[in-house]
Amino acid sequence: MGIFSLTLDSWGLKVPLLNHNGATMAAKKKTPKKTGIAKHLDKIIEGDCIDAMKALPDNSVDLVFADPPYNLQLGQADLTRPDNSRVDGVDDEWDKFESFKAYDAFTRGWLAEARRVLKPTGAIWVIGSYHNIFRVGTAVQDCGFWILNDVIWRKSNPMPNFRGTRLTNAHETLIWAAKDQKSKYTFNYRALKTANDDLQMRSDWEFPICTGAERIKDADGAKTHPTQKPEALLHRVLIGATNPGDVVLDPFFGSGTTGAAAKYLGRRYIGIERDKTYIAAAKKRIAAVKPLGDEALKTQPSPKAARRVPFGTVVENRLIKPGAKLYSPRGNHSAKVRADGSLFVKDGEDEIQGSIHKVGAAVQNAAACNGWTYWHYEAKTGRKPIDFLRDKIRKEMAG
């Protein structure tokens, strides 16, 4: 019979564990089991999207990106090119529903679960074509989401309309919605503006459809998934609507575009997919992705997240001295800086004084003005917006 010792922690004793020969045995360290959302991170759950989402905790996901079935209603006839070759379109079983009513019930089912797992600060992006996006949009609103934007993905290389009976379908629509009207959702405004050459990012995006090396294909050279999305599209969505470390859920994972983009950009992903072929292709694809480093993942901070710096602080730090002149973008207005950070303009007999915003609005006869971008100072390389000086102070504050 073996001889075993006991470890009596409450008495402060640590007695070694002995085997039946009296030899000391090393205690086995138990790896703590992952619980909650942690056990699903960076994994693909095989199964039905609604059932799989029911296993996820409430308020556990930062973003949902969904590319649901289009419900194309193609019927039985094959689509052919002018040379009578068959078009490899979407005719898979997962895209077939017996009626609009059945499709609507399915849509509301997965949207309800998606909303449940989203954090209060979370948001959803749903992409679709004219076949389904209007029905999906209605369901999005009915389920309690708050629509922020619709985005048009304009395809630079769309598939032609081979029959010549309709316009070439050259775009798809994305709906971006917060969990509810009061959600403080993530929007990296400045990062997207920087990516767009310092112009506000618009709601019409141009990307090519997947072709060439990006297109995932099987051993026979056939495309693995009929509706694979370009990784560049997901890159923009994730840069604009998430931060490094955020959890991104894709309930229709397909060939893994969301997972590949998430891993590359330092986000965590959860995929749900029921097709074993798609899962195998996605795993292989994601395994080959090399994540960016922390330094490369840094983006321009959004104005809301940036530390508040009043114009008076710029003057106090003598980056602009009292008495200096500031100019409008076209140089048709000028104002003098005072020691308290206010501006002063003398226009004939009229005198205008106040903050950079108030005076900027007054000289333009406008209701409001962003003084940081309106007023410019004289630098060695020419006139620059005073916002440059604010950014300089923020960097010094950050150390």
Spatial separation of the C-alpha atoms in residues 372 and 384, rounded to whole Å = 10
Spatial separation of the C-alpha atoms in residues 341 and 359, rounded to whole Å = 12
Handedness of CA 71, 77, 82, 83 (dihedral sign): positive
Same domain, 210 and 94: yes
Cα of first residue to Cα of last residue in the chain, in angstroms, is 66
Q: Is 22 contained in some domain?
A: no
Give the residues across from 150 on adjacent strands: 175
Residue 30, pLDDT score: 57
Same domain, 291 and 319: no
Cβ-based neighbours of 117, under 8 Å, separated by 6 or more: 53, 56, 57, 58, 59, 60, 61, 64, 249
Q: Is 7 contained in some domain?
A: no
80, 224, 225, 288, 349 from 221: Cα distances, Å = 20, 9, 12, 19, 79
Residue 231 token pair: 């990784």
In this prediction, the residues of the chain whose per-residue pLDDT falls under 70 are 1-35, 73-96, 303-305, 399
Q: Is 304 contained in some domain?
A: no
Q: Is 6 contained in some domain?
A: no
Same domain, 192 and 158: yes
Cβ-based neighbours of 32, under 8 Å, separated by 6 or more: none
Give the residues across from 146 on adjacent strands: 178
> DSSP characters for 1-24?
--------GGGT--PPEE-TTS-E
> DSSP characters for 128-193?
E-TTTHHHHHHHHHHTT-EEEEEEEEEESSPPP-TTSSS----EEEEEEEESSTT------HHHHH
Count CB neighbours of 224 within 10 A: 19
Residue 350, pLDDT score: 81
Residue 215, pLDDT score: 83
Cα Rg of the chain, angstroms: 29
Residue numbers of the domain that contains 65? 36-77+85-297
Spatial separation of the C-alpha atoms in residues 253 and 282, rounded to whole Å = 8
Burial label for 369, CB within 10 Å (0-12, 13-18, 19+), is buried
Same domain, 183 and 223: yes
> Residue 315 phi/psi, 5° resolution?
-70, -40
Q: How many domains in the chain? A: 2
247-250 and 61-66: which strand pairing?
A: parallel
> Which of 245, 272, 297 lies at the terminal end of a domain, its last residue?
297
User: For residues 70 and 90, is the Cβ–Cβ distance under 8 A?
Assistant: yes
Spatial separation of the C-alpha atoms in residues 252 and 67, rounded to whole Å = 6
> Which of 274, 297, 320 lies at the terminal end of a domain, its last residue?
297
Cβ-based neighbours of 156, under 8 Å, separated by 6 or more: 206, 207, 208
Residue 387, pLDDT score: 94
Q: Is 360 contained in some domain?
A: yes
Same domain, 89 and 173: yes
Same domain, 352 and 271: no
Spatial separation of the C-alpha atoms in residues 190 and 299, rounded to whole Å = 8
Residue 72, pLDDT score: 72
Q: Is 137 contained in some domain?
A: yes
Residue 290 token pair: 């090399």
Burial 258-289 (b: 16+ CB within 10 A, else e): bbbbbbbbbbbbbbbbbbeebbebbeebbeeb
Residue 163, pLDDT score: 80
CA–CA–CA angle 89, 91, 95 (5° rounding): 120
Q: Is 389 contained in some domain?
A: yes
Indicate the pTM of the whole model. 0.71
Same domain, 363 and 215: no
Residue 45, pLDDT score: 97
CATH of residue 208:
3.40.50.150
> Which of 275, 297, 319 lies at the terminal end of a domain, its last residue?
297
